[in-house]
Amino acid sequence: MNRLSALLAGGEVTIPTNPELVELAVGGGLTLGALALGYLASRTLGPRLAEVAAHRAGLKGGTFQPRIAQMVRHLVAALLLAIVFASWPWRPIASLPIGLAWSAATAMFAMKILRGLNLPRWAAWAVAGFAFVSLFSYAVGGLTPITTILGDIGVEVGDTRITLLSVTTVAIAAIVLYAVARLASRVINHAIGQAKGFDPAQKLLFQKLAGVAIIVVAFFVGVDMLGIDLTTFAVFSGALGLAVGFGLQKTVGNLIAGIILLMDRSIKPGDVIVVGEDVGWVNKIGVRAVSVITRDGKEHLIPNENLMTEQVENWSYSDRNVRVRIKVGVSYDCDLKLAQELMLRAAAESPRVLETPKPNIWLTEYGDNSVNHEILAWISDPEGGIGNVRSDVLNRLWWLFKEHGVEIPYPKRDVYVKTLPSVPRTGD
């Protein structure tokens, strides 16, 4: 007892007074209430916001939508705790639980939203840790000691001093801006994709332009936030211009060519074009190249400039109807009229052949061994392939010819022997 009295008299131990204890109890109660309201909001508003985000903002599936309820929980708690903290000049002992809960809720909200946007785990932990340390330090005594320590650690590079504080600030700002730009890009792309009155090529063009605009806006916002003087980029921009003029000429040319392709809609996603000797459909038009997938499952990446400067055979540019030519030869001895009727019947019965325009038969030539024809049939889905249509018609025609006795000729050769060489007899 004497020791305790001496410590109290010497000022080494401070026991909270009654007003401080009351304030601590009030602050702790408000903290628990804010956390409880955050949990209640996650149970009531979370599922509704998840449904809205899935159907209105294009955030269905992936890792973002399942985390929306948790984001609501931590966000509501952080906002309420921020209001509690700012509403009263709390004593240090009372501000401790409020600041701890406030910084933890904010850090967890940052963690959930960054992981929902598929950012690396280390980036999410870095931002969450930065938010926790910053807010907790501010709540219990201010950021001055931490910023002073981080500002003292650095190196001199010419006339510029690079400190640990500046590096940390730039890194955190870059991660946050990247996350915001990524979220905005997903929402805007979904809105453009759901817009009516635009064809797929126009939607893709607007999505790419929106992506470029988001990157530019994020860059200038970041520059403004960090207080960077744009005049420092004068030398860098000149070097970048030389690099574009020499090393990145093809890359920039392909970028511009891709935008032009989308603007004039000469090649659109879903079009069927000829790649060399193969037929493929355009999967997507990227920044550098156009992805074309053939019926064999091979994906060709064709530079955008090539499609701008070289001749391209587009089967679905203005009309998706494509005519298929199927060669057939019949015997000279068959009933030619019956054979042609069977050819028309085989083409008409094929499920992918159109009724309008109607299939037609052309007699092309009198061959060495057969009377040659061409079946001309129209299809409206060239992305489904042409070889399978030709195979289906020929299979049907085979059985029709067999049923009606129409002969499919094959090459014949007659050999005339005028004289035979004399063969010596055995024993002569």
Q: What are the tens digits of pLDDT across the range 249-273? A: 677 777 777 777 777 777 877 788 8
User: Does one domain contain both 118 and 57?
Assistant: yes
Cα–Cα distance, 149 to 151 (Å, whole number):
5
Residue 275 · residue 314 · CB < 8 Å:
no
CATH number of the structural domain spanning residue 292: 2.30.30.60
pLDDT of residue 171: 79
State whether 283 and 332 are in the same domain: no
User: 304 lies in which domain range?
Assistant: 229-318
| 271 occurs within a structural domain | yes
Of 245, 256, 310, 262, nearest in space to 288 by CA: 256
pLDDT band at 227 (very low <50, low <70, confident <90, very high): low
Task: Identify the pLDDT of residue 396.
Answer: 92
The answer to whether position 428 is within a domain reads no
Question: C-alpha angle with apex 303: 300 to 308, nearest 5 degrees?
Answer: 120
Domain count, the chain: 3
Q: Is there a single domain that holds both residue 294 and residue 344?
A: no
- DSSP class per residue in 5-27: HHHHHHTS--PPPHHHHHHHHHH
In a domain, 413, yes or no: no
Q: Is 373 within the bounds of a domain? A: yes
pLDDT of residue 119: 82
Weakest-pLDDT range from 61-70, 141-150, 325-334, 362-371: 141-150
**Choice between 426 and 79, residue whose per-residue pLDDT is larger:** 79
Q: What is the number of other CB atoms lying within 10 angstroms of the CB of residue 194?
A: 11
Instruction: Return the exposure string of 261-294: e unless at least 16 CB atoms fall within 10 Å of the residue's CB, then b.
Output: bbeeeebbbebbbebeeebbbbeebeeebbbbbe
As to burial, measured by CB atoms within 10 angstroms (0-12 exposed, 13-18 middle, 19+ buried), residue 326 is buried
pLDDT at residue 373, as a whole number? 92
Mean pLDDT within 215-244: 67
State the average pLDDT over residues 77-105. 84
27 and 124 inside one domain: yes
- Examine the pLDDT at 209 and tell me if it is beyond 80: no
Please indicate, yes or no, whether residues 124 and 250 belong to a single structural domain of this protein: no
- 380 located within any domain: yes
Residue 207 belongs to a domain: no
- 11, 138: one domain: yes
The helix/strand/coil state of 162 is strand
Shared domain for 288 and 354, answered yes or no, is no
CA 244/CA 305 separation, integer angstroms: 16
Confidence of residue 102 (pLDDT cuts 50, 70, 90): confident
User: Does a structural domain hold residue 222?
Assistant: no
Q: Are residues 236 and 298 in the same domain?
A: yes
Structure tokens at 414: 């007659």
Which of 257, 283, 318 is the endpoint of a domain?
318
CATH label of the domain that carries residue 359: 3.30.70.100
Is-contact 165 151, C-beta < 8 A?
Answer: yes
Q: Which of the listed residues 267, 299, 318 is the one where a domain comes to its end?
A: 318
Q: What is the pLDDT of residue 34?
A: 86
267 and 330 both lie in a single domain: no
Position 173 pLDDT exceeds 60: yes
**Are both 284 and 348 inside the same structural domain?**
no
User: Taking residues 20-37, what's their average pLDDT?
Assistant: 83
Q: Is residue 412 part of a domain?
A: no
From 318, 351, 371, the end of a domain falls on 318
pLDDT at 1: 40
Q: For tokens 């640990």, what's the residue?
A: 164
Same domain, 22 and 110: yes
Whether residue 274 sits in one domain with residue 356: no
pTM for the full model? 0.53
